[in-house]
């Protein structure tokens, strides 16, 4: 049985890593990105290119997408040369790997199906570009069971933990919870490093020292060493993205009348860092904010 042809929209840090993973695994991939120069990062590994998202739909059986935010998703799907403008979009599957608003996801999925017969599953990811290259992402999915089953062979190429959490929008909701943990975790790991260094202990050995205890975690084992070693280049993500996600967590919590003061404080830390000129810096470099001004007094 012939494999479906894949399209990939959005060749950012994660999109590049996922596209290269799929190419390594023998899939045919046609790529599009708003900044055309980034396509060179995947064409040198065998990807084809398309001039517009609509052309990606025409050249593909299943389209994957990983772009910055809700407005970018909307433009790629419904813009002047968006996916739904292709006559060949009917019956095709869209796997949205972006991290965006759950309500907007449900609205866009319904509209895309009504206008172009597109089937939509929301599949935000966690794990970073290294995990993407290794096919070791965690993927939170939302969508109809039949659509999810159709996309599963591709998702399992990208992730070792792929979980359908419910109908369309459920994946994005799970990702909001994930980002609440991650965003607070970045600040917590930063403050742990600052505290250990100020106290004069061997801060580099902290993950080893705490292994197996209640403080042990992936954040402690993988993120803390990068903060403590000031290992921020090349960026594995961008501070502006994590700030965007933390704002989304705050708005979502407000809509549910949930008070999450810790999340809001972490959001404000990242807002301060981004506003100081570090939008495109790795979020792990938040420690620079503490080095320049120290932690807040309130």
Question: Annotated active-site positions, please?
Answer: 175
DSSP string, 24-67: HTT--EEEE-SSGGGGHHHHTTT-EE-SSHHHHHHH-SEEEE--
> Is the backbone peptide bond immediately before 234 cis, with ω within 30 degrees of 0?
yes
Distance CA(102)–CA(3), nearest Å, equals: 30
Q: Where are the alpha helices (DSSP H) in the chain?
A: 13-24, 40-43, 53-59, 70-78, 102-116, 128-134, 145-158, 170-199, 206-210, 218, 224-228, 239-255, 261-273, 287-293
Tokens standing for residue 92 = 């095709």
Angle of helix 145-158 relative to helix 13-24, nearest 10 degrees, comes to: 90
Q: What tokens appear for 45 in the block?
A: 């590994």
Question: Whole-angstrom Cα distance, residue 166 to residue 275?
Answer: 37
Tokens read off for 290: 């503490």
Cβ distance 137 to 158 under 8 Å?
yes
Question: What span, in angstroms and rounded, lies between the C-alpha atoms of 174 and 140?
Answer: 6
What are the φ/ψ torsions at residue 292 (nearest 5 degrees)? -85, -35
């Amino acid at each position: 049985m012939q494999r479906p042809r894949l399209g990939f929209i959005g060749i950012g840090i994660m999109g590049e890593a996922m596209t290269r993973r799929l190419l390594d695994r023998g899939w045919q991939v046609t790529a599009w990105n708003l900044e055309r120069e980034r396509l060179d990062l995947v064409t040198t590994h065998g990807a084809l290119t398309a001039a517009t998202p609509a052309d990606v739909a025409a050249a593909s059986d299943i389209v994957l997408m990983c772009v910055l935010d809700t407005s970018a998703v909307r433009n790629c799907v419904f813009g002047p040369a968006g996916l739904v403008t292709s006559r060949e979009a009917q019956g095709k599957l869209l796997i949205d790997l972006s991290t965006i608003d759950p309500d907007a996801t449900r609205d866009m999925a319904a509209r895309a199906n009504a206008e172009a017969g597109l089937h939509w599953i929301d599949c935000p990811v966690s794990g970073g570009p290294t995990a993407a290259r290794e096919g070791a992402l965690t993927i939170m999915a939302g969508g109809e069971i039949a659509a999810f089953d159709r996309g599963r062979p591709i998702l399992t190429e990208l992730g070792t933990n792929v979980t359908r959490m419910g109908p369309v929008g459920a994946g994005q909701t799970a990702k909001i919870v994930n980002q609440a943990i991650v965003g607070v975790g970045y600040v917590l790991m930063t403050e742990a490093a600052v505290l250990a260094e100020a106290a004069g202990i061997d801060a580099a050995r902290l993950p080893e020292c705490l292994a197996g205890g209640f403080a042990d975690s992936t954040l402690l084992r993988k993120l803390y060493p990068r903060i403590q070693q000031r290992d921020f280049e090349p960026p594995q993500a961008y501070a502006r993205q994590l700030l965007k996600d933390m704002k989304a967590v705050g708005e979502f919590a407000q809509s549910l009348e949930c008070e999450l003061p810790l999340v809001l404080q972490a959001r404000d830390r990242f807002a301060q860092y981004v506003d100081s000129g570090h939008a495109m810096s790795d979020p792990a470099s938040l420690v620079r904010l503490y080095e320049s001004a120290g932690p807040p007094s309130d």
